Every structure is written in C-alpha cells, then in structure tokens.
C-alpha cells in the first residue's frame, strides 16, 4: 500500500475528522499534501507495520520481512520484598533477576520472506544437529516498528533481541474444505532487548 492509498483510506474511514473544528476542506488539504510528498502526520507507530531482521547471518544480515502480529515484547524486573528488623510498615525491594518472555511472530505466508525464515531455520538446525558452536545459533534479531511513511531507515522504535534463536515454528493447518489464508508462527527465545549501561 502506498502512502497516498493509506491517506485516501484514512479520509474515507475517518469521516468524523471533518468536524466544525477541522472542516472537510482541511482534511482534503492534508491528504493532498501527503500525496505531494509532505509529511503532515506525526510519526506514530502502526501496530500492523513492523519488519524483522536477523543480524549476523551473511554479510547483509537476513531480512524476514513484514509480520502482522508480535506478542511478548516485555521485560519483568523480579524482586523480593524485604522488611528490616522491627519495621513492619515499610518494605524494601531486593532485586533478583530481569526476565524476558519469548517473542511470538505471526503472519500470512508469502514466498520470498517465508523462504527466508526457512533458510534461517535450516542454518539453526544444522548447528543444532552438528553439536557445533552453540554461540553461532543465537543472533541479534531486530524488530523495527514503522510509521505511516513506512520508511525502514527511520523506524519509530527498534527492539534488538540479543542471543535470539527460534525455539519453534509452525505452519498452517490445511484442508480442502477451508479457504483461509495460510499463516506461519515463529517463536523466539532471547536474552533481552535492554542495552547495557556504560
């Protein structure tokens, strides 16, 4: 979808924008400006527009393409409440560990990027079976959230999953009696996305 298509869809899908405070002519001006290359919209991340790349695979890395769902971008700071002797009103947080759940990616299958996922799975499987250097399995997987301009060079936010590796992949359930779009699911284990402080 081009930006002009997105702008047109936004104008049709959001008629409530044309209120007395923001007349329809203003909306038309914004859309027209967008089609002429102007950037009237704020750089807000779109939850349905993000791409995934694996760094350290080949000279250019490995692009896994755009995905439609991402779950598990979360960090938990584990702690234990501790009371000092004789103080029964206040407690102190004793830091334990920082944990990250697995990240689950989902999307409709399409040849180019689904082949890229399979290529990466083949590389990991070869290291896994060969009992080779396990450090080669974990890579930096980058998830880049895009905005309405879909500029991959200027993502709204980026998460670098350190020492990430695929823990599972599942393909579509197929049957002659269904007409659903085939989807794939990739689950990533990782050591976190927070950068160490220097």
Interatomic CA distance for residues 170 and 167, integer angstroms: 10
pLDDT of residue 31: 45
Q: Which fold has domain 43-189?
A: Pnp Oxidase; Chain A (2.30.110)
Find the helix packing angle between 24-35 and 3-13, rounded to 10°.
170
Distances (CA, A) of 125 to 35, 115, 119, 169: 46, 15, 10, 12
The yes-or-no verdict on residue 71 having pLDDT over 70 is yes
* Mean per-residue pLDDT of the chain: 79
Question: Does 6 score more than 50 pLDDT?
Answer: no
Average pLDDT score over residue span 120-140: 79
Which sequence spans correspond to the domains of the chain?
A: 1-41, 43-189
pTM for the predicted model, two decimal places: 0.72
Q: How wide is the angle at C-alpha 144 spanned by C-alphas 147 and 136, nearest 5°?
A: 170
């Amino acid at each position: 979808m081009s930006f002009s298509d997105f702008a047109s869809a936004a104008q049709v899908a959001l008629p409530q924008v044309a209120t007395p405070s923001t007349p329809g002519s203003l909306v038309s001006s914004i859309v027209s400006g967008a089609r002429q290359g102007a950037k009237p919209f704020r750089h807000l991340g779109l939850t349905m527009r993000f791409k995934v790349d694996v760094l350290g695979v080949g000279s250019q890395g490995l692009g896994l393409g755009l995905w439609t769902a991402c779950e598990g971008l979360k960090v938990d700071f584990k702690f234990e409440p501790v009371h000092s002797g004789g103080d029964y009103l206040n407690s102190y947080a004793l830091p334990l560990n920082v944990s990250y759940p697995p990240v689950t990616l989902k999307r409709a299958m399409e040849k180019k990027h689904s082949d890229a996922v399979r290529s990466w799975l083949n590389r990991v499987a070869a290291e896994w079976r060969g009992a080779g250097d396990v450090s080669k399995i974990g890579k930096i997987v980058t998830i880049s959230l895009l905005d309405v301009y879909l500029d991959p060079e200027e993502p709204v936010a980026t998460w670098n999953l350190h020492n990430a590796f695929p823990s599972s992949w599942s393909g579509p359930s197929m049957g002659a009696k269904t007409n659903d779009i085939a989807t794939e699911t990739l689950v990533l284990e990782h050591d976190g996305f927070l950068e160490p402080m220097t």
